[in-house]
Amino acid sequence: MSILLGAAGISSSLAQEIAQPNSPDYNPKALYEGPYKLNTWSVSAHFGPGQYYGDLREYDFFPVTKSNIDSHSEVSVQGGITLHKQLSYLFGAKADLSFGGLNGMKRRLYNSYFTGSYTDFSISGTVNLKGLLMGANKMKRWKIDLSLGAGQVWYNSKAYRLGTGELLRSTEGTRNDWIIPLGMTFNYELSPRFDIGLDFRANRVNSDYLDATYGGADPSEAANATTSRKGTSAVDVYGGASVVLTYKFGKKPLRVKKENGKWAYHPEDGNGYYNLRYTDPKVLVKPPKILTLEEMDSVAKANRPEDIDPRLLLDSDGDGVSDFFDKEPNSPAGSIVDGSGRVIDFDAYVKNALSTQLGCTEVFANIQFKTDKSLLDDEGKEILRNVAQVMNKNGCRLQLAGHADRRASDRYNLGLSKRRVEAVKDFLIKEAGVNAGKIMVDYFGSFKPIADGSSREGLQKNRRVELRLLP
């Protein structure tokens, strides 16, 4: 038995530890799976060279490095800020605001180059490829994200003739188009607050006009540039590579450390919070310790409550007061006693209570019944009339408990004890004028005997309704 109690106690404490960790910031409604709170917000800045893919792009292996009669060299840069929200260890979302320059050239067919600028805004979902492919326990300091989303770009570009610099085409101010951004970011966790990484992105534009050149080399399509979005050539794409610096929000940030050659987490210490970008919540829940039978028994013995004094469970004289509190444990059968088990003269008590304003004191009494009956006899009615007078005079309350002897089924005895207690209650209300709200009722069948049921006298004592007069 002690082993079973120990196992139950251990299971209960473990369930409580996992379900409600020792943290003031326990968050059961977190989107990620896990009981511990983790930091989830971050912001990053990125900056690096830009790249354009479209009509005015020289697709040579080596980039153009000088400007002359048939070449135009210009470096374009791009950058911006990104707000991240990690929804779970594997999935997140980000909002990105970027800006940059555009340029490119094409000798064949076009003999043109263009320059321009853009600003874009997009919202994307992210997938933690490192976690997805390698799990949470490898490359702990690394995070590799693949992102895909949608947004808008606002751009302004002009195209010129190579060599002469003659203006050929223009977007005629700022235009805007939808974009589909696709990217991959490599992050390394420098500290609990900062990450550094590389970002590669490409934005597919829903038009063929980012370089101010519409419809490929066909001059017949140029007239439609201001009314159409796509020509016969492929839609434009722009992007770039960037260095990324990330700041992680959240109070008391933590970074996992190695202890004895192993990565160790201690969220229960309350010293801070790990970041969901690098921490799978599952690794924070420690596996339960499998105890041996001897260990279970030891825990059960250590937590076993003290033994109950057996006198609390005994009422030798059946007066309603346990032997532990009974000052007269051998009072005669049918006696009316006070809260200490002392026999009292109930008639004198009633007269005194009616003639003075002494209030209510605790009094115990039993109304006994004949076999299989719930009818009150004259002696019981007289006791109840006296009780009613005290209650009506001083506002006392009354606790009633119905009982039966053991000579029937449990279901029948419950019903019989209920009828007996209801008979007492009805008499007090209907014939003695007691306020029904002052009476509390319960019934127990034959489950709480006060005497040995093997004798006639014992059976008689058990057929009763206990009265407990209360202040």
Half-sphere exposure of 177 (CA within 13 A, CB side): 23
Cβ(465)–Cβ(367) under 8 Å?
yes
What is the residue whose two structure tokens read 């490929």? 216
Q: Given this model, what pLDDT does residue 333 score?
A: 66
Coil, helix or strand for 338? Answer: strand
Joined together, the tokens standing for residue 75 give 């470096």
Which residues neighbour 40 within 8 Å (Cβ) at sequence distance 6 or greater? 32, 85, 86, 87, 250, 275, 276, 277
For the chain, what percent of residues have pLDDT higher than 70? 81
Please give the DSSP secondary-structure letter assigned to residue 89: S
Q: Determine the Cα–Cα distance for residues 294 and 203; give it in Å rounded to an integer.
A: 65
Cβ(445)–Cβ(403) under 8 Å?
yes
For the segment 322-347, what is each residue's pLDDT rounded down to a tens digit?
766 677 777 776 677 766 767 676 76
What is the residue whose two structure tokens read 């009506």? 392
Coil, helix or strand for 169? Answer: strand
Low-confidence ranges of the chain (pLDDT < 70): 1-34, 59-63, 216-229, 308-320, 323-325, 333-334, 338-339, 341, 343, 345, 347-348, 351, 353-359
- The CATH code belonging to domain 36-253 is 2.40.160.20
Q: Given this model, what pLDDT does residue 19 score?
A: 40
What is the residue whose two structure tokens read 């989107």? 31
Cβ(447)–Cβ(418) under 8 Å?
no
Q: Given this model, what pLDDT does residue 418 score?
A: 94
Of all residues in the chain, what percent are helix, strand and coil, respectively (each to 5)? 25, 35, 45
Q: Given this model, what pLDDT does residue 61 score?
A: 57
- 177: Cα separation from own chain's centroid: 42
Q: What are phi and psi of 330, to 5 degrees?
A: -120, 35
Please give the DSSP secondary-structure letter assigned to residue 457: H
Distances (CA, A) of 110 to 57, 169, 237, 358, 457: 10, 12, 18, 114, 121
**Phi-psi category of residue 389: left, alpha or beta, with phi > 0 → left and psi -120 to 50 → alpha:** alpha
Q: Determine the Cα–Cα distance for residues 27 and 13; give it in Å rounded to an integer.
A: 19
**Global pTM value:** 0.57
Q: Determine the Cα–Cα distance for residues 449 and 459; give it in Å rounded to an integer.
A: 9
Residue intervals of the chain classified under CATH 2.40.160.20 are 36-253
Task: Return the amino acid letter for 71.
Answer: S
What superfamily would CATH give domain 311-470? OmpA-like domain (3.30.1330.60)
Joined together, the tokens standing for residue 45 give 């800045």
Coil, helix or strand for 201? Answer: strand
Residue intervals of the chain classified under CATH 3.30.1330.60 are 311-470
